[in-house]
A and B are shown apart, each in its own frame.
Chain A
């Protein structure tokens, strides 16, 4: 009886038994906690309602709005072109396909910015880049774009510039009196990531 065969047999058995103790993790890959913390304390994830309004008006194709509120709230009012993914459904595999498309900026929208921030943290932990949060959410949108307040006469010139832009945006989004039938009737066109980078082919 060859000694090598015995040793190899035992080695193979030990290795095979060892696989039983491997943790076959299905956990998604996450970024480092330090990195996440660094990102969280940066305010760079916020975009203002003015920036979003400008992008919508200019028809910026890189903008992708995701409304993380409930479906009821979404039907009631949302930003033009926004896709509804309630926060609790965000990690459904199909919904994750909206994220991580090269050249797309995903902006999370909620009533304020708390839910949107949560969505941002979740996607950030999963390692998706180019995700942003609408600062102040729909409430801020209403105050600044839909119903802008005229600044005081002593305010800075830039405030007046902002105001005039917002007045224009208000006209764009509300139709300035004429009824456009509600802005969430806009035909939502979205682009999804190709589903898999799984290897194709055979033997």
Chain B
């Protein structure tokens, strides 16, 4: 049956409608998970709050395992899914920059908008900075263009690279995620013991 648009189940014009609906749901879940608080978000770096890790890892493993079952029962053809092309070095550098931004600013791009939605000033300034950054990057783009496009590996998956079937990766990630849930719970307890209760 799926993916719906490539298989012609619904027309291509629906993609924006679906995007809006998913966007609303995503924002709602972010805010409901406490992601509009930069203290919550940055907590993962200091060890007193791992809600970011828990929410994103939960989403990841549920989606990952769920998609495999969807493929199995024929609701979704995984071979028709868009796979983001991999640019190894630029992605590593981008990830590091993103991590620094996260721990310094206390938001990632999506959560800064949920922060604005509930009226947080820090989120507002973060977003202004975000747009300035985009603007600066665009102006300076010719300088990085070579690096930006370097190391293209195409639309590959781990299975393509290693030859190991996808379910083994799914199982491995699930075990890692579950171990992280329990492990971080103890770290949280330990760290929180030595700090005053903080407000969100």
Of the candidate stretches A10-18, A67-75, A174-182, the one touching chain B is A10-18
**Tally of chain A residues near chain B (CB < 8 A):** 20
B48 to chain A, nearest CB (A): 19
- Whether the Cβ atoms of A12 and B61 lie closer than 8 Å is yes
Chain B interface SS verdict (over half): helix
Interface majority SS on A: helix, strand, loop or mixed?
Answer: loop
How long is the Cα–Cα vector from A12 to B62 in the complex, in angstroms? Answer: 8
A80-88, A138-146, A154-162, A194-202 - interface stretch: A194-202
- Name which residue of chain B comes closest to A16, CB basis: B174
CB of B72 within 8 A of CB of A23, answer yes
For the complex, give the distance between the alpha carbons of A199 and B61 in Å.
Answer: 23
A44 within 8 A of B: no
- Chain B residues, Cβ within 8 Å of A188: none
Let me know if A15 and B84 touch, CB within 8 A: no
Tell me which residues across on chain A come within 8 A of B181, comparing CB atoms: 5, 9
Whether A22 lies near B72 (C-beta < 8 A) is: yes
- B199 located at the interface, meaning its Cβ lies under 8 Å from any Cβ of chain A in the complex: no
**B160-200 CB contacts (< 8 Å) to partner A:** 165-168, 170-171, 174-175, 178, 181-182
A20 near B: Cβ within 8 Å? Answer: yes
Question: B80, A199: Cβ atoms under 8 Å?
Answer: yes
Q: Are A24 and B166 in contact (CB under 8 A)?
A: yes
A129 to chain B: closest CB distance in Å? 15
Residues of A15-53 whose CB lies within 8 A of B: 15-20, 22-24
Q: Mark B29-71, 1 if CB is under 8 A from A, else 0.
A: 0000000000000000000000000000000011001001101
B130 to chain A, nearest CB (A): 16
Tell me whether A7 is interfacial, beta carbon within 8 Å. no
Tell me if B93 is interfacial: C-beta within 8 Å of chain A. no
Number of contacting residues on B, CB 8 A?
Answer: 27
Closest-by-CB residue of B relative to A203 is B84
Whether A199 lies near B81 (C-beta < 8 A) is yes
Measured between beta carbons, the chain B residues less than 8 angstroms from A200 are 82
For window 61-106 of A, CB contacts with B under 8 Å fall at none
* A197-B80, A199-B5, A201-B82 given; A13·B167 CB < 8 A: no
Q: Are A199 and B82 in contact (CB under 8 A)?
A: yes
B7 at the A interface (CB under 8 A): yes
Pick the contact of B6 from A17, A19, A197, A203 — CB < 8 Å? A197
Tell me whether A16 and B65 are in contact in the complex, defined as CB-CB below 8 angstroms, given that A22-B72, A23-B72, A24-B165 are known contacts: yes
CB-CB nearest 8 A-B residue pairs:
A16-B174, A19-B167, A199-B82, A22-B72, A19-B68, A20-B167, A197-B6, A16-B171
Given contacts A16-B61, A16-B65, A22-B71, 7 further A-B contacts (CB under 8 A): A15-B69, A19-B171, A22-B68, A22-B69, A22-B72, A24-B71, A197-B6
